[in-house]
A and B are shown apart, each in its own frame.
Chain A
Amino acid sequence: MSGGHDYPHESTGVETRKLGMWVFLSTEILFFGTLITTFMIFKGRDFPGMKLTDVYDIPFTSVSSFVLLMSSLTMVLAHNALENEDQEKTRVWLLATAMLGSVFLAGQIYEFTEFYHKGFELSTNIFSSTFYVLTGFHGLHVFIGVVFLIGLWIIGQRQKGLSLDSGFNLEFIALYWHFVDIVWIVLFTVVYLI
């Protein structure tokens, strides 16, 4: 998410920190790829106990998915506002993104609680374990993202404001946030719809 900057002093032509962020995201793809693969090994097989299809609520999860998708919009608008050096709008969009992320997390906590009450628990069978590990790790990533966003918002409240060139960088947090969103795009289809 470059603001049109060039880094001729870097032999790669890319800012090293940004390249590092993309490499990190690449490793995260492998991390979630492994969890999704493990989940798919057990999906569709018969296990004792409650099944996921007996407990899930597609309309509810669809709304959660839409909320997370829209948080990607508010995040990119925050980045765009900072590129235009509009600190006020940047803070507003950052806070909106953190709130939408929190709504998604609240929805996931509610969903997990409902599943537990209906008997689909972490230890119900190996399939339920893979489900909770996969979606739980995604939730943890969303939580970390919300903490980063609130941290950025607090820094933005200071007189100096936020910058794309130094410090705790909004651009990298935005990349992380969009990554969390694309992971959910895959999970929503693989775990709930197929």
Chain B
Amino acid sequence: MSDNHREHPTPKKYVQIAIFLGVLTAIEVALYYTEDIVGVFTDPLLIFLAIGKYVVVVGWFMHLRFENKMVNRFFAGGMILAVILFAIVMIERAAGDYFN
């Protein structure tokens, strides 16, 4: 049975979420220009911000957090497979760089 009984956000809430996403984008761009100051933390922070934006859009705009568990599993399944593929190839690339 469906378990999507939670109320969807109001238009006001959607605007607040969009402002939040805009602020995160501004921080991303600022990080790009302050790489010399932020140093080695720049890339991890950029990845963290991108994941944050991704989760907010999928959860609230696509309403995944209000959806049936089966829908969540299908979407998560695609994500997990893509991440595994990415990880395997990147490990292979790093190993190739190390041994060559």
Please report A residues at the B interface, Cβ cutoff 8 Å: 1-8, 12-14, 18-19, 22-23, 25-30, 32-34, 36-37, 40-41, 58-59, 62, 65-66, 69-70, 72-73, 75-77, 80, 83, 174-175, 178-179, 181-182, 185-186, 188-190, 192-194
Contacts and interface: CB of A to CB of B under 8 A. Distances in A.
Interface in B34-75: 43, 46-47, 49-50, 53-54, 57-58, 61-63, 66-68, 70-71, 74-75
A41 B89 contact: yes
A175 B90 CA distance: 30
Given A18-B71, A189-B47, 17 more contacts: A4-B4, A13-B1, A13-B68, A14-B71, A22-B71, A30-B85, A37-B90, A41-B93, A66-B22, A72-B21, A72-B57, A80-B10, A80-B11, A189-B46, A189-B50, A194-B43, A194-B46
A182 B54 contact: yes
27 contacts: A1-B67, A6-B2, A8-B1, A12-B68, A14-B67, A27-B78, A28-B78, A34-B85, A37-B90, A40-B89, A58-B33, A62-B25, A69-B25, A72-B18, A72-B21, A73-B14, A73-B15, A76-B14, A80-B14, A174-B62, A178-B62, A179-B62, A182-B58, A185-B53, A185-B54, A193-B32, A193-B46
B82 A33 contact: yes
Interface secondary structure of B, over-half rule: helix
A36 B14 contact: no
User: Which of A8, A65, A73, A174 gathers the greatest number of chain B CB atoms within 10 Å?
Assistant: A73
Nearest to A84: B11
Contact of A178 (B33, B61, B70, B71): B61
A29 B74 contact: no
B64 to A, nearest CB: 9
A171 B89 CA distance: 35
Interface of B: 1-5, 8, 10-11, 14-15, 17-18, 21-22, 25, 28-29, 31-33, 43, 46-47, 49-50, 53-54, 57-58, 61-63, 66-68, 70-71, 74-75, 77-79, 81-83, 85-86, 89-90, 93
